[in-house]
Amino acid sequence: MKSAYELAMERLEKKEPTKVLTNAQKARIAEINSLYGSKIAEKETFLQGEMAKEKAKGDLAAVAQIQDQLTRELRRIHTEWEEKKAAVHGETAYENEIKKLEK
């Protein structure tokens, strides 16, 4: 006898089958992950260094401003990262929304 979870997963698989990636797609996604992971690390390292300088000066307003900048930059990079991966998958957020509305 199947569990409710297994039944739900079967229905989900019928409704929206799992996409199988080619080796080229997997390699491209790995490349994208590596690139954006390094972009994030670079941005965090630089801006945290700037925050440390401002803390040493005692300028807490500048620290808060840099923290806000870091948050915005990381959000932007993550969004761009996900869009690139979705493009490799052959999907974009916009296309997914259209598919949902058409159902």
Give the tokens for residue 32: 């994208």
Q: How confident is the model at residue 88 (pLDDT cuts 50, 70, 90)?
A: confident
12 found inside a domain: no
| Predicted confidence (pLDDT) per residue in 59-72, tens digit | 999 999 999 999 99
| Predicted confidence (pLDDT) per residue in 8-54, tens digit | 888 888 887 777 788 888 899 999 999 999 999 999 999 999 999 99
56 found inside a domain: yes
The whole-number pLDDT of residue 43 equals 96
64 found inside a domain: yes
Q: Which amino acid is at 70?
A: L
What is the residue range of 93's domain? 24-102
Q: How confident is the model at residue 94 (pLDDT cuts 50, 70, 90)?
A: low
Overall number of domains in the chain: 1
The whole-number pLDDT of residue 102 equals 62
The helix (run of H) or strand (run of E) holding residue 14 is: helix 4-15
1 found inside a domain: no
Contact 62, 96 (CB under 8 A): no
For the chain, the farthest-separated pair of C-alpha atoms sits apart, in whole angstroms, at 67
